[in-house]
Chain A
Amino acid sequence: MQYLLLIYANEAEYAGMSPEQGKAMHAEYTEFTKGIVQSGHFKGADRLRPTSMASTVRVRNGKAATTDGPFAETREQLGGYYMVEAKNLDEAIAIAAKIPGAKHGSIEVRPVWPLEG
Chain B
Amino acid sequence: MLATLIRLLGDFDLAEEARQEAFAAALEQWVDAVPANPSAWLIKTGRNKAIDRIRRDVLFRTKVQSREIASAEADAAGQDEETGDTFGDDRLRLIFTCCHPALSAEAQIALTLREVCGLSTPAVARAFLVAEETMAQRLVRAKRKIRDAGIPYETPEPPLFDERIDGVLAVVYGVFTEGYAATQGARLLDTELCAEAIRLGRLLDELMPSRPDVIGLLALMLLHDARRPARVSGTGDVVLLEDQDRSLWDRGGMTEGLALIDRALGIAGPVSAYVVQAAIAALHVRAGRKEDTDWPQIVGLYEVLLRIQPSPVVELNHAVAVSMVDGPARALALVDSLAARGPLLAEYHLLHSARGRLLEQLERAQEAREAYERALECVAVEPERRLLEARIDRLR
A residues with CB within 8 A of B: 1, 3, 86-90, 92-94, 111, 113, 116
- Interface-central residue, B149, B150, B152, by most chain A CB under 10 Å: B150
**In the complex, what residue of chain B is closest to A111 when comparing beta carbons?**
B149
B362: min CB distance to chain A, Å: 45
Q: B79-105 toward A: CB 8 Å interface, digit per residue (1/0)? A: 000000000000000000000101000
Q: Is the CB of A90 within 8 A of B156?
A: yes
Q: Is the CB of A89 within 8 A of B151?
A: yes
CB-contacts of B122-153 with A (<8 A) = 148-152
Bound Cα distance A94, B160 (Å)? 9
B residues with CB within 8 A of A: 62, 100, 102, 148-152, 156, 160
**Which residues of chain A come closer than 8 Å to B62, judged between CB atoms?**
116
Q: Is the CB of B148 within 8 A of A92?
A: no
Bound Cα distance A31, B243 (Å)? 64
9 tightest Cβ-Cβ pairs between the two chains A and B? A88-B152, A88-B150, A89-B150, A1-B150, A111-B149, A89-B151, A90-B152, A89-B149, A111-B150
B201: min CB distance to chain A, Å: 25
**Which residues of chain A come closer than 8 Å to B151, judged between CB atoms?**
88-90
**Which residues of chain B come closer than 8 Å to A113, judged between CB atoms?**
148
Bound Cα distance A98, B148 (Å)? 23
Bound Cα distance A86, B152 (Å)? 11
Q: Is the CB of B160 within 8 A of A111?
A: no
**Which residues of chain A come closer than 8 Å to B100, judged between CB atoms?**
89
Could you count the A-B residue pairs with CB atoms below 8 Å apart for me: how many are there?
Answer: 25
Bound Cα distance A87, B100 (Å)? 16
Bound Cα distance A116, B59 (Å)? 13
**Which residues of chain B come closer than 8 Å to A88, judged between CB atoms?**
150-152
A84: min CB distance to chain B, Å: 12
Known: A88-B152, A111-B148; 17 extra A-B contacts, CB below 8 A, are A1-B150, A3-B150, A87-B152, A88-B150, A88-B151, A89-B100, A89-B102, A89-B149, A89-B152, A90-B151, A90-B152, A90-B156, A92-B150, A94-B160, A111-B149, A113-B148, A116-B62
- Interface-central residue, A3, A86, A88, A113, by most chain B CB under 10 Å: A88
* Pairs A–B under 8 Å by Cβ, sample size 6: A1-B150, A89-B150, A90-B152, A90-B156, A111-B149, A111-B150
A71: min CB distance to chain B, Å: 29
B7: min CB distance to chain A, Å: 14
Bound Cα distance A111, B144 (Å)? 12
**Which residues of chain A come closer than 8 Å to B152, judged between CB atoms?**
87-90
**Which residues of chain B come closer than 8 Å to A1, judged between CB atoms?**
150
Q: Is the CB of B149 within 8 A of A90?
A: no
**Which residues of chain B come closer than 8 Å to A87, judged between CB atoms?**
152
**In the complex, what residue of chain A is closest to B96 when comparing beta carbons?**
A90
**In the complex, what residue of chain B is closest to A93 when comparing beta carbons?**
B102
**Which residues of chain A come closer than 8 Å to B150, judged between CB atoms?**
1, 3, 86, 88-89, 92, 111
A108: min CB distance to chain B, Å: 12
**Which residues of chain A come closer than 8 Å to B148, judged between CB atoms?**
111, 113
**Which residues of chain B come closer than 8 Å to A86, judged between CB atoms?**
150
B377: min CB distance to chain A, Å: 32
**In the complex, what residue of chain B is closest to A92 when comparing beta carbons?**
B150
**Which residues of chain B come closer than 8 Å to A111, judged between CB atoms?**
148-150
**Which residues of chain A come closer than 8 Å to B149, judged between CB atoms?**
89, 111
B297: min CB distance to chain A, Å: 41
**Which residues of chain B come closer than 8 Å to A90, judged between CB atoms?**
151-152, 156, 160
- Interface-central residue, A86, A88, A89, A113, by most chain B CB under 10 Å: A89
**Which residues of chain A come closer than 8 Å to B156, judged between CB atoms?**
90
B145: min CB distance to chain A, Å: 9
Bound Cα distance A35, B62 (Å)? 35
**Which residues of chain B come closer than 8 Å to A93, judged between CB atoms?**
102
Bound Cα distance A92, B102 (Å)? 12
A3: min CB distance to chain B, Å: 8
**In the complex, what residue of chain A is closest to B157 when comparing beta carbons?**
A90
Bound Cα distance A103, B331 (Å)? 39
**Which residues of chain B come closer than 8 Å to A94, judged between CB atoms?**
160
**In the complex, what residue of chain B is closest to A2 when comparing beta carbons?**
B150
Bound Cα distance A35, B180 (Å)? 49
Bound Cα distance A86, B151 (Å)? 11
Bound Cα distance A74, B156 (Å)? 35
**In the complex, what residue of chain B is closest to A94 when comparing beta carbons?**
B160
Bound Cα distance A87, B157 (Å)? 14
